[in-house]
Copies of this chain bind each other. A is one copy, B any other.
Amino acid sequence: MKSVNIKKISQLAGVSPTAVSFVLNNREGVSEETRRKVQEIIKQEGYIPNINSRRLSMKRSFNIAFINSETYAMFTDAFANGTVKAAVCKANSMGYNIMLLPEMNLKNRDYLTTVIGQGDIDGALVMHDIDPVIYATLKENKIPMVAIDSHMQNPPYPCIMMRYEELAYQVCMYLIGQGHRDIAFLGIESLPEFYLRCLKGYQRALSEKNLPIRAEWILSAADDGINVPEAVQNTLKEKLSREHLPTAIFCVNDLTAIGAISGLVQMGASVPEDVSIISIDDISVAKYYIPPLTTLRVDTAYMGEKAVEILHNIIEGKSEGEVFCMDAGELIVRKSVHSLNP
């Protein structure tokens, strides 16, 4: 197809392929005059270097894999939307392609090994956390990775983290500020580390305001990580009775909040009149839900970009990787919290 290659460019410019290569890679070692001449020819011919040749000689793929772990489905995770888009743009602007890998079950794990063996991955990005087996595979093969929004308290790998305890604290303080005293906590078991961190924030806020922490109001849904709202819905109907309800529930994320609201409505309670709901994330449907969710927004786009930057630095050997903590989020006040203040 495209017959113009580095050799042809070098001939047209009257220089050696090396000179052209240097110009292409912005390296010094060519005179300004040569550089300009080469650049002109390149532009004139619309020349774009063949990436595969480059890959072969440099033993690098310029590919970053987006890996999904077995228990996690990125494309049903509303949270991931902003992150992925931003990561793709950032990666592209830095010369990487983003390669999409399937959810990592046993069969697909072999595929990962193959792709790595082929030399087709320079690094990997992961949403939230990574299956230990997959992580081991990456490590064995010296493929650097960065987790975006790790839920762990002390993640063993480079990642972008939110201060979830802090966020939970902030959200609960808001509830208290609105006059709530009977505040329940609602977490999901598929995200145990995340659960614990949020719970800590909840407990700290209540303690600080001398509010009793009642065991009956620490709720958890035994979800499978996929159908979160449904599991939450069932949990609520099972564990709460219409007659004895908290005035507010802090749900660990929007999907949980959605499940909670639909569960409460099915029980005949109304939100926010009977029970206020607050959560963390601000996923795209949050503002169209009924009632629109009051939730703590997280800057997902920035997380995606930052993750790519960190990964790049590891790939280039400029860094060992880091745990990057995001600043706190922004509370988006909508309609799911009712004020009890006079």
Contacts and interface: CB of A to CB of B under 8 A. Distances in A.
Contact of A48 (B2, B117, B229, B259): B117
B76 A284 contact: yes
Interface in A51-95: 51-53, 55-56, 59, 61, 63, 66, 73, 75-76, 80-82, 84-85, 88-89, 92
A250 B85 CA distance: 32
Copy count, this protein chain: 2
A98 B84 CA distance: 14
A230 B288 contact: yes
25 contacts: A1-B59, A1-B119, A1-B142, A2-B117, A2-B119, A50-B119, A52-B52, A53-B56, A55-B55, A55-B56, A66-B100, A73-B85, A75-B82, A75-B84, A88-B100, A97-B100, A98-B100, A99-B100, A229-B285, A229-B288, A233-B288, A262-B289, A265-B290, A285-B285, A289-B290
Interface of A: 1-2, 46, 48-53, 55-56, 59, 61, 63, 66, 73, 75-76, 80-82, 84-85, 88-89, 92, 97-103, 108, 111, 114-115, 117-120, 142, 229-230, 233, 258-259, 261-262, 265, 284-285, 287-290, 292
